[in-house]
Amino acid sequence: MASAVACRLFRARFRVVLTEDDSERELMKYNSFSRVFADGVCEVEGVPARRAVVTEALGMVDQGSLPVLSVDPRSALETLNPEIIVDARETRRIDGADKNRHSLGVGDASLIIAATPEFELGESCDMAIIVERGYHMARVLTSVFEKLPETIGKDEDASIPDPVVPAITNASGPFGYLKRIGEPVERAEPIGVVRDREIVAPEAGLVRGILAGGSVVEAGAIVAEIDRRGHEEYVYSISDLGRAVGGSVLEMAVAWSVDMGALSESDFYQPGS
């Protein structure tokens, strides 16, 4: 989701920096910038990205590249001083001491947009995007008084099983892959191994994402994703949900920027500069 949003904003000439605070457990995918953690550089639908450190990120943006940082977002706030933060993490449930280190809240930037399943309008974000498939997919919520639609997760589209299914390890230790992204697999076919224990494909389809070899995992961790639709183009392109949510984030970012009078030439990267 974060990669889909980043692509949309980048193409609209916003200056974009990505952060990932759990890069060691990121699945390598061709429709995600997560591959920079294994390869150093990558592209998603023609948008170039490179792994970077915080101090070089803004310089890379001005050169027309998308920097990806292996840090938690709070540690980068002081250096980057972003006007807008898009929180596209999978979940906001963070317990114990880590909560203060990783969590974001209103006031950390001029505008915080949540594109994540869990959010609290007025506390964790200023605006939110519904990231579930269905009638309300990519709907924008802008007011603390606006209730979530009661039909979320209940319509016919939302009841359709997710075409992408995870492969989960039942052992802890270093992961070794037996399949690569885009390769076809059959149900119960081995796709990886952890301490001599095979991890098998839960469904037949194509490998959509997989952990880098040597990654250390714990039992219960997702080590791969299988797209059971079997269409190769889906493995290499942004999903329909990602495109829809990215469009809603872009809409809100532009609208807020215009309202605040924040748009100027310096706020956008210049292609070829």
pLDDT per position as a tens digit, 167-207:
999 999 999 999 999 999 999 999 999 999 999 999 999 99
**3-class DSSP state of 81:** coil
The pLDDT tens digits for 91-129 are 533 343 344 445 788 889 999 999 988 888 889 899 999
78 vs 51, residue with greater confidence: 51
- Across the range 39-55, mean pLDDT stands at 93
Percent of the chain whose predicted confidence (pLDDT) is above 90: 56
The domains located in the chain, with CATH, are: 2-158+237-263 (no CATH), 164-228 (2.40.50.100)
pTM: 0.84
Residue 21 pLDDT grade (very low, low, confident, very high; cuts 50, 70, 90): confident
Q: At what angle do helices 54-62 and 73-80 cross, to 10 degrees?
A: 60
Determine the pLDDT at residue 263. 65
Whether residue 159 has pLDDT greater than 90? no
**Single-letter code of the amino acid located at 27:** L
Is the pLDDT assigned to residue 56 strictly greater than 60?
yes
Q: What is the pLDDT of residues 256-270, one digit of tens each?
A: 988 887 666 565 666
| pLDDT in the model for residue 189 | 97
Q: Give the pLDDT of residue 91.
A: 57
Q: Is the pLDDT of residue 237 over 50?
A: yes
Locate the DSSP E strands across the chain: 18-19, 28-29, 41-44, 47-52, 66-69, 84-87, 111-114, 127-129, 140-141, 164-168, 173-177, 184-185, 190-194, 197-200, 205-210, 216-217, 222-227
Q: In the predicted model, is pLDDT for residue 272 greater than 70? A: no
Q: Which residue has the higher pLDDT, 74 or 153?
A: 74
Residue 154 has pLDDT above 80, yes or no: no
More confident residue, 24 or 150: 24
Q: What single DSSP character describes residue 7?
A: H
pLDDT for the residue 94: 37
Please report the pLDDT score of residue 268 as a whole number. 60
Question: Quick check: 104 and 74 in contact, CB under 8 A?
Answer: yes
Q: What is the rounded average pLDDT for all residues in the chain?
A: 86
Alpha-carbon torsion angle 21, 24, 29, 31, nearest 10: 10
Residue pair 172/217 in contact (Cβ under 8 Å)? The answer is yes
